[in-house]
Structure 1
Amino acid sequence: MRRPLLAAATLAAAAALLTGCAFGDDWSQPHARPSAVGEPGAGFVDPSSPPTPEATVTPRPGSWSGVRPSADYRVVLLTSGDDRPTRTLVTAVEEWAEDEDVDLRTVTADGPSDLLPAVDRAIGMHPDLVVGAGDDLVDPLATVTPSHLSQQFLVVGAELAEPTHNVTAVDWTGGSFRGEGLGASSTYDPDSFTAARCAAAVRAGVAAVLSGWTGIVLWVDDF
């Protein structure tokens, strides 16, 4: 009597493997609220004097390294452009996601006319975090993010001129593109987008978002 039941179970397992990778691959399924595993070290921010909205803070180098996302963290990498700084940022996000077992998906804007639609596509996937990489996305993000305050955004290597509380940025001397006609700062230097700096910036930014320090700019000249 047990053999038919065993056969049925085997067939069901095989069907599950054929029809989809896993339930966790479907972002329409219920999802636990993400949290920080660990906490920032001393010098990340001063809890006794928390930064005001839009403030720029300079975390102590490496103070973000003890923070990682909880399981099944869902991230959309929103990117535009094929310049070397953008490619370095994209690689940094991808390597971080692989290291931390993050569920990462990518939305790439197909030219200037697709910038706003690309932002909308990323938001429509309902990730825990949208990470923007590429200066061309700064103005579209500035336009869209105030209307989606429940969605967290992280901008790396650039910043929004007037971010809402759901937009966190990580920047440094040599980055600092702000859009809205402000363009790049006089210190803009594409060579400052090194693999090591971009990797540190991604980790610092994610640590800030997971720890609730959002709507600010983290300055990572030292890392």
Structure 2
Amino acid sequence: MHRPPLAAVLVTAAALLTGCASGDDDWSRLRPSPSAIGALGAGFIGPDTSPAPESTVTPSPGSWSEVRPAAGTRVVLLGAGSDRPTKTLVKAVKAWADEADVDLRTETASDETDLLPAVIRAVDLHPDLVISAGNDLIDPLTTVSPSHLAQDFLVVGAELAEPTENVTAVDWSGASYRGEGLGMSSTYDPASFTEARCAAAVRAGTAAVLTGHTGIVVWLDD
């Protein structure tokens, strides 16, 4: 049987070892934070290029389409609930991550008692971004996010009543749940969580975070 030269074997083995060592599976390695690839369109923020914290911006449709994350950006999808809106949001996040070559991990709360622990597990992974899907996570995020200001959060289809600078939200008419016992800026409508709306929300929200526009509400108008 023909055997490859020893030198070739050693080169191949070294390449495999190098690939494993530098792979994205090891999130414990420190590295520079990824920067955005591309730029926001002029209609995303409007005339105020630095919106105030907790303010709401209404971007022009598609003004976020040229922004994407660097390949390998570390994202945790934090989910809770089996309702159709949450499932649609989760599907949208996974589609965006696959398209953008994002290193995605998932943390899902198993029940009501696991909501807060799930948020903590997501933060403990030290990702570049935690994306939250599901109204049940709003109160736990309100508890955890102020104590982890270095961690960016993106809430899709809901918002925190008093977000800190590290929490960005994307809402629209039919979404905007703000927590237990709190009013919303629009009537909740599960039918508004269409695949197209959720896909746009994920892309618009991640574009805002990647370009440094955090702590705001991105409102998607028709």
Q: TM-score, normalised by structure 1?
A: 0.91
For residues 91-170 of structure 1, the aligned pairs below 5 Å read: 91-170=91-170
CA distance in 1, matches of 2:49, 2:95: 33
CA distance in 1, matches of 2:207, 2:130: 14
Q: Please tell me the root mean square deviation across aligned C-alpha atoms, in Å.
A: 2.0
Q: Which secondary structure state, in structure 2, belongs to the residue aligned with residue 107 of structure 1?
A: strand
CA distance in 1, matches of 2:26, 2:87: 27
2:79 corresponds to 1:79: yes
- Superimposed CA distance per residue, residues 139-192 of structure 1 (whole angstroms, 9 cap, x where no aligned partner): 000000000000000000000000000000000010010004216566110000
Structure 2 match to 1:179 = 179
The percent of aligned pairs where both chains have the same amino acid is 65
Distance 1:15 1:61, change over 3 A: closer
Q: Is the 8 A contact 1:23 1:29 kept in 2?
A: no
CA distance in 2, matches of 1:178, 1:171: 11
Q: Is the 8 A contact 1:24 1:72 kept in 2?
A: yes
**Which moved further from structure 2: 185-194 or 36-45?**
185-194
Structure 1 match to 2:215 = 215
Structure 1 match to 2:7 = 5
Structure 2 match to 1:200 = 200
* Alpha-carbon offset, residue 56 of structure 1: 1.1
CA distance in 1, matches of 2:35, 2:85: 30
Q: Please identify runs of 4+ aligned residues in structure 1 that moved more than 6 A.
A: none
For residues 54-93 of structure 1, the aligned pairs below 5 Å read: 54-93=54-93
- Superimposed CA distance per residue, residues 80-103 of structure 1 (whole angstroms, 9 cap, x where no aligned partner): 000000000000000000111100
Q: Which secondary structure state, in structure 1, belongs to the residue aligned with residue 165 of structure 2?
A: coil
Q: Is the 8 A contact 1:57 1:219 kept in 2?
A: yes
CA distance in 1, matches of 2:148, 2:48: 29
**Which moved further from structure 2: 61-70 or 44-53?**
44-53
CA distance in 2, matches of 1:49, 1:100: 26
CA distance in 2, matches of 1:25, 1:13: 17
Gapped regions of structure 1 (runs ≥ 5) = none
CA distance in 2, matches of 1:55, 1:87: 28
Gapped regions of structure 2 (runs ≥ 5) = none
CA distance in 2, matches of 1:102, 1:49: 27
Q: Which secondary structure state, in structure 2, belongs to the residue aligned with residue 82 of structure 1?
A: coil
Q: What amino acid is the match of 1:111? A: D
Q: Which secondary structure state, in structure 1, belongs to the residue aligned with residue 130 of structure 2?
A: strand
CA distance in 2, matches of 1:49, 1:22: 37
